[in-house]
Structure 1
Amino acid sequence: MTTPRTHHPAAADPSCPIRPLIGATAPASATCRFTQGPASVTLRTDHAELLTDAEATLYSYARTTTAASRWTITVHTSARVDQVGAAALFADADDHDIGPNLQAQSIGVPGGRAFWIRAHATLVHLDEMSGTITVYAGDLDAARFFSARLVRQAMTAQLLEHDAVYAHAAALVHADHGLLIAGPKGAGKTTTLLSTLRLVGGDFVTNDRLLLRLEPGGPGTVGHAWPMHLRATASTLRAVPGMNRFLPAEQRTEQGSPSGKIAIEPGDLRAALPTTQIRGELQPTLMLWPYRSDQDRPPEPVPTAEVRDVLVRTQFFMHDPVTRTTSHRNHWLLPPDHDRTALALSAVADQLARTVPCVRIPVTDSPAALAARVTGLLDQPATRPTGPGGRR
């Protein structure tokens, strides 16, 4: 389980093979502590701007300046790494895919591992014994790239240790309702989310990914937002009232050529949704499974047994059994225990299916019709699946 650690300067052991590669470092005096549920990470850096950037990206984490953390991440922008020496030391090292078109090599070192990311001229030292991750960044851009990503990975690793599971889902809170909008890619999750926030109201939690776990001491589940920017197609932003402000000028009409999805930082949503707050978690009380349709059909309750079967079989829609493709989950620094994760997935799926009503809802070309359907469901919180295993 997650417990705070006593932290010491990284690579202090003179026998550590990466020590000779690292130049002098400036004090990392800028500090911020992030928390989410049982997880905690302290980020330290010698460049205060990195904290501001990380805080904007990691919107769903609470922030404090006190108390010990399970992991401390220190990012140095001033130290220069001997790139020739690093290339030689890591010449026969293990390879890791750490992102789109990005590779790292790693070797074992006392207490943990060291990673060399040549493309960013960056060295990362993981010391599991002291609970520290030290980044010697090649430049400020590299430091910015790794700061938020490594905090998020360390936070996620702790939630997985506490039996959380990934869910491919959008989420919002409206009044007393925690609305979970789950489904595969292209089902209409973002359209449902934005239409509801704009036309019904509520607070934003996440657009694409959530970490669900059993509620400690309670009968339900809790969802923690996996922080990242919102991504929406041009057609969705044109359709939902007020959202075309996030489109480039040339795409604000139907004649504008689409160019993939548009990235929007959650905090920027307040420009179109001034009453919307940004939250980091929710307790699901209603789950929607949107699907694309050319007709506005009535919502359809999903039986409990079917909910559980689909959630397990699709890994909460993170896996497509037909195409055999799985959404990207990269834990190159702190890999999870896959057996434990599999058990947690089954337990969370069972609890969610038994305690949260699930409804299929059509997503048409009319955000107003979609919002009306959601409003009807929110006005009837007793909507419960019936059938095998179902209950009201």
Structure 2
Amino acid sequence: MTRDAAHRPITLYSSTDGRVPDYNEGVEYWGVPGLDRLVVNPHTGSQILVSGSEVHVVNTDTEAGARDALRVVKQLVTTEFEAAGVVTVHAAAFAVADGAVAVAGPPGAGKTSTVLAAVATGARMIANDKVYASTDAHGTRICGWTDPIRVIEAPGAPKRALTLAAYFAEDLSRLAVDPLPLRTVVAADVGTGSVPVRCEELEPGAGLLSLRREVLPPRVRWLGIEPSAAPRPPLPSADRFLRLTYGYRDAARAMELLLNRLDT
């Protein structure tokens, strides 16, 4: 077996004669009565059993099973949004006043660090990695899905994952859950060394490109019970675009500069 095959999720579908063809490997198995689909996660050992509209996650390891149960929930939430014409954007976001600020950039650009710095000043977190964006003639509104937060406690140190409850010390009022209008997009560029702190306006065309570059394709419908995505939903937009550049140790000063710029 090749390395790729060993790590490929296996999906089994039942058939009327009780045989289950595994379309990944071309092998057939005897089916389980009443089971429509079985998905195996080879990384965690979880078995995800789908029967009608019911989904069961089975794993003797409680923590691994809980992670895969969360993946199922995220899959269902995301595809419900996509069916309603919402797109998923690879961006972090926080709420200020009556609007949202999205922080965009490639992996390692400092999206999470920038949002956490904003939260430290009193802003509410919307998301640390992905947002759902719905766009119509009145603009774009976003809400978030917040994964475990990965924080760097010192330059060069490995990231440490924290749950929301742990990070917010059980005070989830610091999390914004209702959809908010997207007012500003910030292109983050956070370095590990000492660099000049700058916050500058981005030309709208370049800013819009930086935002739409982070729109993710629809999720693969591996559960088999999700609705189809809406055809070509509108792409997100924003009122204003900024670029924020700072060094890791200067997060507080960078956030002061950013919030002052947002007030103007």
Q: Distance in 2 between matches of 1:107 and 1:176?
A: 56
Q: Which residue number in structure 1 is paired with residue 255 of structure 2?
A: 371
Q: Distance in 2 between matches of 1:208 and 1:123?
A: 25
Structure 1: which 5+ residue stretches go unaligned?
1-13, 18-88, 97-104, 237-256, 319-325, 381-392
CA RMSD of the aligned region, Å?
Answer: 3.8
Q: Distance in 2 between matches of 1:374 and 1:276?
A: 23
Query: Are the equivalent residues in 2 in contact too, given 1:107–1:114 (CA < 8 A)?
Result: no
Structure 1 position 139, deviation (Å): 3.7
Query: Are the equivalent residues in 2 in contact too, given 1:173–1:204 (CA < 8 A)?
Result: yes
Quick one: which of 173, 184, 190 aligns to 1:286?
184
Structure 1 position 176, deviation (Å): 2.5
Q: Which residue number in structure 2 is paired with residue 149 of structure 1?
A: 71
Number of residue pairs aligned between Structure 1 and Structure 2: 241
Structure 1 position 359, deviation (Å): 0.3
Query: Are the equivalent residues in 1 in contact too, given 2:186–2:241 (CA < 8 A)?
Result: yes
Which one is further off, 359-368 or 139-148? 139-148
Q: Distance in 2 between matches of 1:106 and 1:304?
A: 56
Q: Which residue number in structure 2 is paired with residue 197 of structure 1?
A: 119
1:159 pairs with 2:81: yes
Q: Distance in 2 between matches of 1:136 and 1:264?
A: 23
Structure 1 position 276, deviation (Å): 5.6
Provide, for residues 312-337 of structure 1, a one-character-per-residue CA deviation record: whole Å limited to 9, x for no partner. Answer: 4x243x5xxxxxxx9x9554225785
Q: Which amino acid aligns with 2:146?
A: P
Q: Which residue number in structure 2 is paired with residue 235 of structure 1?
A: 154
Q: Distance in 1 between matches of 2:143 and 2:127?
A: 9
Aligned residue for 1:308, secondary structure, equals helix
Aligned runs of 1:3-18 on 2, under 5 Å? Answer: 17=18
Q: 1:339 to 1:329 in 2, by over 3 A?
A: closer
Q: Distance in 1 between matches of 2:149 and 2:196?
A: 26
Which one is further off, 287-296 or 367-376? 287-296
Aligned residue for 1:196, secondary structure, equals helix
Aligned residue for 1:159, secondary structure, equals helix
Structure 2: which 5+ residue stretches go unaligned?
1-14
Q: Distance in 2 between matches of 1:311 and 1:176?
A: 20
Structure of larger gyration radius: 1
Q: Which amino acid aligns with 2:222?
A: W
Q: Higher strand proportion, which one? A: 2
Q: Which amino acid aligns with 1:357?
A: R
Q: Distance in 2 between matches of 1:190 and 1:331?
A: 28
Provide, for residues 111-157 of structure 1, a one-character-per-residue CA deviation record: whole Å limited to 9, x for no partner. Answer: 99412427536251253xxxx03326254636534332212211110
Instruction: Give the fraction of aligned pairs with identical amino acids, expressed as a percent.
Output: 20
Q: Which amino acid aligns with 1:304?
A: P
Q: Which residue number in structure 1 is paired with residue 8 of structure 2?
A: none
Query: Are the equivalent residues in 1 in contact too, given 2:207–2:242 (CA < 8 A)?
Result: no
Q: Which residue number in structure 2 is paired with residue 209 of structure 1?
A: 130
Q: Distance in 2 between matches of 1:115 and 1:109?
A: 9
Quick one: which of 86, 92, 115 aligns to 2:38?
115
Aligned residue for 1:369, secondary structure, equals helix
Query: Are the equivalent residues in 2 in contact too, given 1:197–1:276 (CA < 8 A)?
Result: no
Q: Which amino acid aligns with 1:358?
A: F
Q: Distance in 2 between matches of 1:196 and 1:136?
A: 37
Provide, for residues 332-357 of structure 1, a one-character-per-residue CA deviation record: whole Å limited to 9, x for no partner. Answer: 225785782xx22xx223xx1xx420
Q: Which residue number in structure 1 is paired with residue 139 of structure 2?
A: 220
Query: Are the equivalent residues in 1 in contact too, given 2:82–2:229 (CA < 8 A)?
Result: no
Query: Are the equivalent residues in 2 in contact too, given 1:177–1:378 (CA < 8 A)?
Result: no
Q: Distance in 2 between matches of 1:183 and 1:303?
A: 16
Q: 1:139 to 1:15 in 2, by over 3 A?
A: farther
Query: Are the equivalent residues in 2 in contact too, given 1:299–1:361 (CA < 8 A)?
Result: yes
Q: 1:263 to 1:145 in 2, by over 3 A?
A: closer
Which one is further off, 152-161 or 296-305? 296-305
1:307 pairs with 2:237: no
Q: 1:195 to 1:310 in 2, by over 3 A?
A: closer
Provide, for residues 284-320 of structure 1, a one-character-per-residue CA deviation record: whole Å limited to 9, x for no partner. Answer: 21211111354334422122222233334x243x5xx
Aligned runs of 1:285-364 on 2, under 5 Å? Answer: 285-292=183-190, 294-312=194-212, 314-316=213-215, 331-334=221-224, 340=231, 343-344=232-233, 347-349=234-236, 352=237, 355-364=238-247
Aligned residue for 1:283, secondary structure, equals strand
1:124 pairs with 2:49: yes
Provide, for residues 21-78 of structure 1, a one-character-per-residue CA deviation record: whole Å limited to 9, x for no partner. Answer: xxxxxxxxxxxxxxxxxxxxxxxxxxxxxxxxxxxxxxxxxxxxxxxxxxxxxxxxxx
Q: 1:229 to 1:107 in 2, by over 3 A?
A: farther
Q: Distance in 2 between matches of 1:371 and 1:182?
A: 15
Q: 1:305 to 1:148 in 2, by over 3 A?
A: same
1:95 pairs with 2:24: yes
Where relative contact order (Cα < 8 A, 6+ residues apart) is larger, the structure is: 2
Query: Are the equivalent residues in 2 in contact too, given 1:205–1:282 (CA < 8 A)?
Result: no
Q: Which residue number in structure 2 is paired with residue 263 of structure 1?
A: 161
